[in-house]
Amino acid sequence: MKYIIRILFIAIVILVSIGYYYKNTGDHVFGDKLVGVGILAASFILMPIFIYHRWKDRKVKDYMLTEENLKKMRDFNQEKETKNKKN
């Protein structure tokens, strides 16, 4: 999966770069189309694949503010404060 993401990223960067090259050489319409296709591909293809890849094995419950997680945070902060007071 990570190789697909890297290949897509490199392809999109190349596509946008070629689009800006065409814009600078005088063919503004074709350059704008290439840049637009590159940005759309980055938004609607690359980003969802990247987000899925990064979150596929994680539990959403670990990132929610439940009573259990709030209690863990309070306990952690209290332990941290007591260590700071001892030093």
The CA-atom distances, in angstroms, between 17 and each of 2, 26, 29, 43, 77 are 22, 15, 15, 17, 48
47, 5 Cβ separation under 8 angstroms: no
35, 16 Cβ separation under 8 angstroms: yes
Question: What's the mean pLDDT in 38-54?
Answer: 96
Is the entire prediction scored with pTM above 0.85? no
Could you read off the pLDDT of 55-86 as tens digits, one per residue?
888 888 877 888 988 899 999 988 888 877 77
> Residue 34 — pLDDT band, cuts 50, 70, 90?
very high
